[in-house]
Amino acid sequence: MKRTIITGTGCYIPPLVRKNEDFAAGSFYTEDRQLIEQPIEEIIEKFRKITGIAERRYAPADMNTSGMAAFASKLAIDDSGIDPETIDQIIVAHNYGDLTPHSLQPDTVPSLASRVKHLLNIRNPYCIAYDILFGCPGWLQGMIQADIYGKAGVAQRCLVVGSETLSRILDQHDRDSMIFSDGAGACILEYKETTHSGPGVLGVSMRSDCLEEVSFINFGQSYSPKEDTGACYIKMKGRKVYEYALRHVPEAMKECLDRSGIPIGELKMIFIHQANEKMDENITKAFYGLYGITEVPEYVMPMSIHWLGNSSVATIPTLFDLVNKCQVRDHLLHPGDILLFASVGAGMNINAVCYRY
């Protein structure tokens, strides 16, 4: 039998570290552009307790989204040991294209996938390069599409990348700006022969809610009443996103695991979108609760948000690469381990993938 198997991983972790205390010199405003009178040190500490974020990474001025994507891709290709000319598809998930520092004009033509193919110097004209705009779950959506193309006999080998430079689209007067960061993660997916108990994608689940949920994460003006440039920044209705995620992500995770025919007791590790530590913990708790389990197993959910922040489409592939290469304490993978990937983001979109390592 054949399955879609991850044969190589790679990531790019930007070198510029911005700690929580680096925001202390600024000022934050509410959505209706009123100054938040609370001492900024208290705002930052409350933020840390809720999100778990102590620091985040920003890309240097000479690195853009496609550059980070190409760097992570090269590592994934080397890890897999394949000839890059044999890649059938390059799928790059992002949300804002290439952004130069101090410019809010997204650059998306040509596509970032085309730029990655160019940077990798892949000459094969039948290696098809295209982008995915699917919010934070974009990398997982790319993984799902690679699986579908493999089963259809269209593409046997795909490079799937998630890359983002959110630091260049932030409103520094919005508390939520402290959540976001930059980075890139990539993997090589090959549709190839395996055994019934061998590795590969076992099942998927997807949903999109685009009625009142469509603007929960959006593009909007600065919260500062002093800024009237017309520039737009990433915006989020935090409470609504939290409530939506807590209600629907556990359902999608359960649907995915059940479709895969895997008992909950066999699940080894959950790679969930690193958006908010408390939210991720509560999603995981609610997921196990759907099976009547009140205690979440220890070490089931590796986390990177404390030092990497939320890099959108890059969070899961970056975290998976770190765990895959034994760089996350107390989290080791072994052949046969059952993994569950899950993400939620703008759209609002959710997807989940069950994978045997």
pLDDT tens digits, 176-188: 999 999 999 999 9
Is 122 in contact with 132 (CB distance < 8 Å)? no
Instruction: Taking residues 136-157, report their average pLDDT.
Output: 96
Would you state the pLDDT for residue 199?
95
Facing residues of 130 across strands? 91
CA distance 114 to 128: 8
Would you state the pLDDT for residue 100?
85
pLDDT at 240 over 90: yes
Digit-coded pLDDT (tens) for 18-68: 999 998 888 888 888 888 888 888 989 989 998 999 999 999 999 999 999
CA 226 to chain centre: 33
Superfamily of domain 2-193, CATH level 4: Thiolase/Chalcone synthase (3.40.47.10)
Q: Which two tokens stand for residue 272?
A: 């969930």
The mean pLDDT value of the chain amounts to 94
SS3 content of the chain, % helix, strand, coil (to 5): 35, 25, 40
pLDDT above 70: percentage of residues in the chain: 100
Provide the residue ranges of all domains of the chain, joining segments of one domain with +: 2-193, 200-356
pTM comes to 0.94
Digit-coded pLDDT (tens) for 249-281: 999 999 999 999 999 999 999 999 998 999 999
The backbone region for 97, taken as left when phi is positive above 0, alpha when psi lies in -120 to 50, beta otherwise, is left
Q: pLDDT-derived band of residue 353, with 50, 70 and 90 as boundaries?
A: very high
Digit-coded pLDDT (tens) for 209-235: 999 999 999 988 888 888 777 788 898
Would you state the pLDDT for residue 168?
92
Q: What is the DSSP letter of 113?
A: H
Q: What is the DSSP letter of 29?
A: B
Residue 42 main-chain phi, psi, to 5 deg: -70, -40
Q: Which CATH architecture group holds 200-356?
A: 3-Layer(aba) Sandwich (3.40)
Would you state the pLDDT for residue 155?
94
Would you state the pLDDT for residue 37?
83
Would you state the pLDDT for residue 26?
82
Whether 2-193 shares its CATH topology with 200-356 is answered: yes
Radius of gyration of the chain (CA): 20
Is 238 in contact with 176 (CB distance < 8 Å)? yes
Q: pLDDT-derived band of residue 342, with 50, 70 and 90 as boundaries?
A: very high
Digit-coded pLDDT (tens) for 84-115: 999 999 999 999 999 988 776 788 899 999 99
Extended beta strands in 87-199, E state: 89-93, 128-132, 157-165, 182-193
Instruction: Taking residues 10-23, report their average pLDDT.
Output: 95
Facing residues of 101 across strands? none
Would you state the pLDDT for residue 268?
97
pLDDT at 119 over 90: yes
Q: Which two tokens stand for residue 177?
A: 């700006």
Count other Cβ atoms within 10 Å, centred on residue 244: 18
Extended beta strands in the chain, E state: 2-12, 16-19, 55-58, 89-93, 128-132, 157-165, 182-193, 200-208, 217-221, 232-236, 267-272, 338-345, 349-356
